[in-house]
């Protein structure tokens, strides 16, 4: 009997749950939406067009613009809200490992004198279909939205920067590798959990060594997955914020996602350390006990 083996087993169980949540957060509408990787705030997309429509009634927006009541036209913020709605563009698009979700900010898109930033919530409209090798492609998402709304405005008219897409395309392979690594990590952590259970009852050095080996592999898999998703989140948000600023697009990093993926990695590190300690000191402890029993 080795009750100390209960601790790595519990840590494995925790890491298993957390890595499952990393993979499945946001996989359907309303399930852990806060645990997104990246959120694109597109509520001000088209601001530059609205600004130019104010002075010049021609341009790509003319047909939409002329149908908007004059009192709304005079309030730039409200006018952008109406324009993006007509264009079929949502306030935000949030990327998860398996899909993306979209919706509106309520009660307002931006903080003002009466609505503070902490009062603004996401109201989800829906999520895309889940796909194993998902790739977040805002270019395609926005183009589809424009096509579906049937307006005569293209992504070029909105001056959507090609650099955003170029920057995100560079992360495509990393995103897919991260997905595969999460699947491998979940499998290995599951094996580590199962392997830790017999070690509670059988106190052999072999069991501890076997557990240590599995724990090392699981730690590497979840650690790499966390490192790659961190790179995607940090680099992706930087690219969007750098090039999107001119057209009113912002990106938010998924802090909560980073927290749970690194917590899972931390738990597996604890497991790894505990098995190493068990191998080094557990053995010595038994050695001193054995003569005592027989003597
Ligand atoms: C649009 O106009 C407002 C003020 O009317 C200004 O604050 C904003 O920066 C302008 N946006 C762009 C993209 O030019
Ligand atoms: C702030 O936004 C809310 C929601 O759109 C609106 O009802 C309110 O009038 C705005 N307040 C100011 C001071 O603009
Ligand atoms: C969305 O972006 C606009 C400007 O791009 C900003 O004013 C607004 O506060 C943002 N809204 C949220 C909820 O982040
Ligand atoms: C959220 O959106 C749904 C429709 O998608 C709407 O019925 C509901 O009133 C919205 N909630 C808020 C708080 O605006
Ligand atoms: C999502 O899946 C449903 C059925 O499973 C299908 O009808 C629909 O076309 C799919 N949507 C997209 C965008 O692929």
Domain interval for residue 95: 3-45+89-283
Within-domain flag for 109: yes
- Residue 105 CA to ligand 2 center (angstroms) comes to 13
Helix boundaries (H) for 98-204:
138-149, 162-169, 172-201
Coil, helix or strand at residue 38: strand
Nearest-atom index, ligand 3, CA of 91:
1
Within-domain flag for 238: yes
Give me the pLDDT at residue 115, please. 87
Asked if residue 126 has its Cβ within 6 Å of ligand 4, the reply is no
Ligand nearest to the CA of 117: 3
Within-domain flag for 255: yes
Within-domain flag for 57: no
Ligand nearest to the CA of 115: 2
| 31-55 CB burial, b ≥16 within 10 A, e <16 | ebbebbbbbbbbbbbbbebbeebee
Residue corresponding to tokens 């930033």: 117
The DSSP line for 221-245 is HHHHHHHHHHHHHHHHHHHHHHHHG
Cα dist from 220 to 13, 255, 259, whole Å: 17, 22, 18
- Residue 76 CA to ligand 3 center (angstroms) comes to 14
Task: Give the global pTM.
Answer: 0.87
d(CA 257, CA 25): 9
Exposed, middle or buried by CB within 10 Å (0-12, 13-18, 19+), for 263? middle
Whose C-alpha lies nearest to ligand 3, atom 8?
110
Measured at the CA of 22, the angle between CA 131 and CA 217, to 5 degrees, comes to 105
Task: Provide mean pLDDT across the span 65-84.
Answer: 79
If pLDDT is split at 50, 70 and 90, which confidence band does 2 have? confident
Residue corresponding to tokens 């730039």: 76
Domains: count for the chain: 1
**Per residue in 174-183, pLDDT tens?**
999 999 999 9
Q: Is the pLDDT of residue 63 over 90?
A: no
Q: Is the pLDDT of residue 255 over 50?
A: yes
Of 174, 283, 183, whose CA–CA distance to 234 is shortest?
A: 174
Within-domain flag for 171: yes
d(CA 10, CA 278): 16
Looking at residue 203, which CATH number applies to its domain?
1.20.140.150
- Residue 85 CA to ligand 4 center (angstroms) comes to 15
| 195-204 CB burial, b ≥16 within 10 A, e <16 | bbeebbeebe
Within-domain flag for 193: yes
Of 86, 100, 91, 55, whose CA–CA distance to 254 is shortest?
A: 100
Contact 8, 275 (CB under 8 A): yes
**Per residue in 179-215, pLDDT tens?**
999 999 999 999 999 998 888 787 678 888 999 999 9
Give me the pLDDT at residue 295, please. 40
Nearest-atom index, ligand 3, CA of 248:
5
Cβ neighbour number for residue 124 with a 10 Å cutoff: 17
Q: How far is CA 190 from the centre of its chain?
A: 22
Q: Ligand 1, from 76, 246, 249: best to mutate by most atoms within 8 Å of Cβ? A: 76
Within-domain flag for 151: yes
Give me the pLDDT at residue 288, please. 47
Q: Ligand 2, from 78, 91, 114: best to mutate by most atoms within 8 Å of Cβ? A: 114
Q: Check whether the bond before 218 is cis (ω within 30° of 0).
A: no
Residue 17 phi, psi (nearest 5): -65, -45
Asked if residue 107 has its Cβ within 6 Å of ligand 4, the reply is no
Within-domain flag for 230: yes
């Amino acid at each position: 009997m080795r009750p100390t083996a209960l601790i790595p087993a519990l840590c494995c169980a925790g890491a298993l749950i957390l890595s499952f949540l990393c993979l499945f957060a946001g996989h359907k509408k309303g399930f852990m939406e806060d645990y997104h990787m990246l959120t694109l705030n597109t509520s001000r997309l088209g601001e530059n067009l609205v600004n130019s429509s104010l002075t010049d009634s021609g341009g790509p927006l003319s047909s939409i613009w002329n149908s908007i009541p004059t009192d709304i036209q005079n309030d730039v913020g409200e006018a952008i809200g109406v324009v993006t709605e007509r264009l079929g563009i949502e306030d935000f698009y949030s990327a998860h490992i398996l899909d993306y979700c979209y919706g509106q900010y309520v009660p307002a898109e931006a903080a003002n004198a009466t609505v503070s930033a902490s009062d603004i919530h996401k109201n989800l409209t829906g999520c895309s279909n889940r796909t194993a090798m998902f790739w977040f492609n805002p270019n395609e998402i926005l183009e589809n939205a424009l096509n579906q709304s049937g307006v005569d405005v293209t992504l070029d008219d909105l001056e959507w920067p090609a650099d955003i897409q170029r920057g995100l395309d560079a992360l495509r392979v990393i995103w897919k590798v991260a997905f595969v690594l999460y699947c491998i990590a979940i499998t290995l952590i599951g094996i580590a959990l199962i392997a830790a259970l017999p070690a509670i009852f059988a106190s052999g050095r072999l069991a501890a060594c076997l557990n240590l080996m599995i724990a090392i592999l699981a730690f590497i898999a979840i650690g790499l997955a966390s490192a790659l998703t961190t790179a995607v989140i940090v680099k992706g948000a930087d690219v969007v914020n750098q090039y999107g600023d001119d057209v009113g697009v912002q990106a938010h990093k998924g802090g909560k996602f980073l927290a749970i993926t690194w917590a899972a990695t931390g738990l597996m590190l604890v497991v790894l350390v505990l098995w190493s300690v068990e191998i080094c000191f557990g053995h010595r402890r038994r050695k001193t006990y054995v003569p005592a029993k027989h003597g």
